[in-house]
Structure 1
Amino acid sequence: MQDDVDLIKALYAAAEGESLDLPAFVSFFSKDGYARNVPAGVDFHGDDIAMVAGGMAEAFPDVHREILGINAMDGVVVVELAIRGTHTGDFATPAGTLAPTGRTIDVPCCDVFQVKDGKVVSFHCYNAATVMQQQLGLTG
């Protein structure tokens, strides 16, 4: 179980805005692994998995994922975290591209990973998209 936790911590480190390493981020996934942005209803496979970390880092170059809690059991790792950053780049959304607002975000999130043989086979991100929308000034 500790190996799974260490794997996920290393995955998050590869996704940090200041030390972004997209090839490393993708390398943590199995050949058939995928990432799912649950609120957006979008799945990423293969090399497109890089878009998960790359898209956030493009929009929020200082993006940081603060791990608040992490639990592992039987190949499942659940992480409670906050996604924080400053919106200084274009942000691709299902509704179109949002130009930089200069606003900061502090978005609650829960990520659920399934790990097998030292690789991520699935990553489901449950981020509070409505909180992010409010913080970016998109909703009242």
Structure 2
Amino acid sequence: MGGNRTGVELVRRIVRTVVNDGDLGAVPDLFAADYVLRKAGLSVPRGPEAIKMLVRQWRDAFPDYHVEIEAVIAAGDVVACRYVASGTHRGALLGVPPTDRAFTVRGTDVHRLADGLVAESWLADDLPRILTEVGFLTPSASSRWT
């Protein structure tokens, strides 16, 4: 990557083009052929198809899915992104039928870059909170969200 500014711009482009607009055709130009996606509880193949699968899953469940970047920080070949994600549950997600309820959560993603592309990502959103806000989970009184 030609400096931190370029890495920041790459991550902003991914959020704008792939995540928010759902343009999966842009993925090969943004992710390495041997891309690795790391997300707790998720098993996906190596390569750009991993991010396509994840984006497809979220956009099918939340057609209005949108990520608003709050901050992007770059150091060396690593770019971290803190964001707010929102959407309305209008399609099945992980076997959960649509509830037509909305969610808003914060998350953080960390990306390792190589040769101008994202080579590896660690994704951390708040799936329990999403499932609670769309009405699938009900937290106990001692674990209410703040």
TM-score range, shorter chain: 0.7 to 0.9
- Closer, same or farther: CA 16–41 of 1 in aligned 2, 3 Å: closer
**Equivalences for 1:81-120 in 2 at 5 Å?**
81-91=83-93, 93=94, 97-120=95-118
1:9 counterpart = 2:12? yes
**Equivalences for 1:121-132 in 2 at 5 Å?**
121-132=119-130
The one-character-per-residue Cα deviations of 1:86-136 (angstroms, maximum 9, x if unpaired) are 111121x2xxx1111101011211100001111101111111112112112
Unpaired segments ≥5 residues, structure 1:
none
- Closer, same or farther: CA 109–2 of 1 in aligned 2, 3 Å: same
Would the aligned equivalents of 1:36 and 1:44 in 2 still touch at CA under 8 Å? no
Query: Higher Cα Rg: structure 1 or 2?
Result: 2
Unpaired segments ≥5 residues, structure 2:
139-146
Letter in 2 for 1:3: T
Number of aligned residue pairs: 134
Provide the identity percentage. Answer: 26
Partner Cα separation in structure 2 for residue 83 and residue 34 of structure 1:
22
1:49 maps to what in 2? 51
- Closer, same or farther: CA 69–61 of 1 in aligned 2, 3 Å: same
Cα deviation for residue 52 of structure 1 reads 1.3
Structure 1 residue ranges (4+ consecutive) displaced by more than 3 angstroms after TM superposition: none
Q: Tell me which moved more, 122-131 or 42-51.
A: 42-51
Greater per-residue strand proportion = 1
Would the aligned equivalents of 2:17 and 2:26 in 1 still touch at CA under 8 Å? yes
CA RMSD of aligned residues (A): 1.5
